[in-house]
Amino acid sequence: MKLRNKMALCMAIVFVLFAIALAVAISGMRDATARFGNFVDHDQAFLAEANTMYAQGLQMGQALRNVVLAPDNETGYKNLAAARKDFGRALKSARALAGKDGAADTALTRLETLQQQRADVQDRILGLVKTDAASSVVILNGEETPVWREMRGELLKILKEKNAAAEKVKTELVTRTQTMFLASLALAAFAIVAGGAVAFWLTRSITRQLGGEPDYAASIAGSIAAGDLTVQIALDDERNQTSLMFAMRQMQHSLATLVQKVRDGTDTITTASGEIAAGNLDLSARTEEQASSLEETAASMEELTSTVQQNTESVRHANELATTASEVALKGGQVVEEVVGTMGAINEAAKRIADIIGVIDGIAFQTNILALNAAVEAARAGEQGRGFAVVASEVRNLAQRSAAAAKEIKALIGDSVGKVDAGSKLVNVAGDTMTEVVASVKRVTDIMAEITLAGQEQSAGIAQVNQAIAQMDQVTQQNAALVEEAAAAADSMQAQAQELLAVVSTFKLAAEPAAHSQRLDGGGSHTRRLALPAMAG
């Protein structure tokens, strides 16, 4: 598989895993938010209205008894009217919140009928309270109180059912939150592990294709581009003959052979220029040999030039892919930031629920105060208020249970807020991991740029070698055409040979035999000559 395809596949795997994790987290959060909203907007609101009806029902009874005990007490009349109004408002609101709940709607209809009966009885009592107090007390105990007891039974039944539903919703929300948290945690951990494995595999694959570390490959390429052909190239795996480092070692050997041939050809030209006076035929034969060598050298250089150009183009493509991968990783970081924002929104919703629970707790406290007042009034009423005292005690117990349930829900909401905060921290960790991936891709891009620059320098060096070979070919053609004038041009030919030797002397080779160096020194050349290095591997 090509390097480009490998990198694309690796990044696709990582992003698909993160996309799955984000999709699961977002879906779970959306469901939880919707359930929270429905719970607050309907169930809790309905429960609050039912508690209001219960409290106002008690308030109506208390106010009516105050009127019976003190017919001239205007406050009692006002309290009775206000309690009726608040009861009616709460009943209307509860009916709107009940919606398609048939059982709740039936119970509310029954409550509405009973309240109308109770209101009629209360109006009769109010009409008799100032003229016939004894009859009003009889009607109060015999008709009004039984109707209220039936209403209280309906209200307690509704409160019991709604409290059970609230407990069920609470359990469902806790279970769903825990499941979402564990699923997100598991997917995030799997994505991190998979990303690490993919990164390790990709690094190993790139290193295998290079045959060594990128900085080492850049160092070797720089040495060869500088003309140092003596450097020893070590491979991570000698059996891998498809790596860039192996090809570079082959190129080094070919260059060393080529330079050695060029130098040998220069020696031949130098010797021929010294012996040209002895025989033009010998010079002509040597010129033909040199022409043949130059043709082979030119062919080898063309192949080498094509190979270097292909390598440079491949490195440029790899650099573009690394840049694209960096941009994709940045986009992944932005997606993680959006997830952090979503987690914050959920946290705010949970805090809003906690505020609503506080309101419910306040209502329970007020109900408790009303129950205490009712108990005091019952005590003042004496024997006639004994039944009302029992009712006040039950109301107080109900208020205390409501307050305890509100506190428990508030604690569970606080625990959910803590878990959402923990999820936010995990997403932040995933964002930091994406930042590290971006930095790693940036480093790979920089290394690819260095390799590209080294390849360009290498191409420039090969161009210089091609130029030198072209000059040698020109000199050889001139020698073939000017055999008759060779004696007169011997000095000029020797000068050109020395110039060519100076050009190829930029390449460093291993030490040559001593006799060859002595021959160069005797011929007037001061250029140090080195022998071809042995092939490694």
Q: Which residue would you say has higher pLDDT here, 476 or 74?
A: 74
For the chain, what percent of residues have pLDDT higher than 90? 5
Residue 530 has pLDDT above 50, yes or no: no
- The pLDDT mean for the chain works out to 77
Residue 15 has pLDDT above 50, yes or no: yes
Q: Which H or E element spans position 531?
A: strand 530-531
Q: Which residue would you say has higher pLDDT here, 305 or 116?
A: 116
513-523 pLDDT tens trace: 444 444 444 44
Q: What integer pLDDT is reported at residue 336 of this predicted model?
A: 67
Considering only 25-29, 78-82, 181-185, 285-289, which range has the smallest mean pLDDT?
Answer: 25-29
| Confidence bin at 89 (pLDDT 50/70/90) | very high
Residue 87 has pLDDT above 90, yes or no: yes
Tokens representing 4 are 């480009």
166-214 pLDDT tens trace: 788 788 878 888 887 788 788 778 878 887 887 777 777 777 776 667 7
Q: How many Cβ atoms from other residues are within 10 Å of residue 88's Cβ?
A: 15
Q: What integer pLDDT is reported at residue 516 of this predicted model?
A: 47
Domain ranges of the chain: 1-210, 213-327+450-531
Q: Which residue would you say has higher pLDDT here, 205 or 133?
A: 133
**Nearest in space to 90 (alpha carbons), one of 52, 124, 63, 126:** 52
Q: So what's the architecture of 1-210 in CATH? A: Up-down Bundle (1.20)
| Confidence bin at 1 (pLDDT 50/70/90) | low
Give 395's contacts (C-beta < 8 A, 6+ positions apart): 54, 55, 58, 367, 370, 371, 374
Q: Which residue would you say has higher pLDDT here, 27 or 109?
A: 109
Q: What integer pLDDT is reported at residue 55 of this predicted model?
A: 92
Residue 473 has pLDDT above 70, yes or no: yes
User: Is residue 234 packed enough to be buried (19+ CB in 10 Å), middle (13-18) or exposed (0-12)?
Assistant: middle
Phi, psi (deg, nearest 5) at residue 279: 175, 120
Please give the average per-residue pLDDT across 362-376, as a whole number: 82
For the chain, what percent of residues have pLDDT higher than 70? 84
Q: Which residue has the tokens 């508690």?
A: 51
Please give the average per-residue pLDDT across 145-150, as a whole number: 91
Q: Which residue would you say has higher pLDDT here, 378 or 111?
A: 111
Q: Which residue would you say has higher pLDDT here, 382 or 2?
A: 382
Number of helices (H), then strands (E), in the chain:
12, 2
- Maximum CA pair distance of the chain? 164
Residue 533 has pLDDT above 60, yes or no: no
Residue 159 has pLDDT above 80, yes or no: yes
Give 76's contacts (C-beta < 8 A, 6+ positions apart): 63, 64, 66, 67, 70
The contacts found for 233-239 with CB under 8 angstroms, 24 or more apart, are 233/536, 235/211, 235/537, 236/207, 236/208, 236/211, 236/212, 237/208, 237/211, 238/537
Tokens representing 14 are 């990582």
Q: What integer pLDDT is reported at residue 116 of this predicted model?
A: 92
| Confidence bin at 34 (pLDDT 50/70/90) | low
Query: Which range in 101-105, 369-373, 430-434 is most confidently predicted, on average pLDDT?
Result: 369-373
38-58 pLDDT tens trace: 555 567 788 888 899 999 989
pTM value?
Answer: 0.34
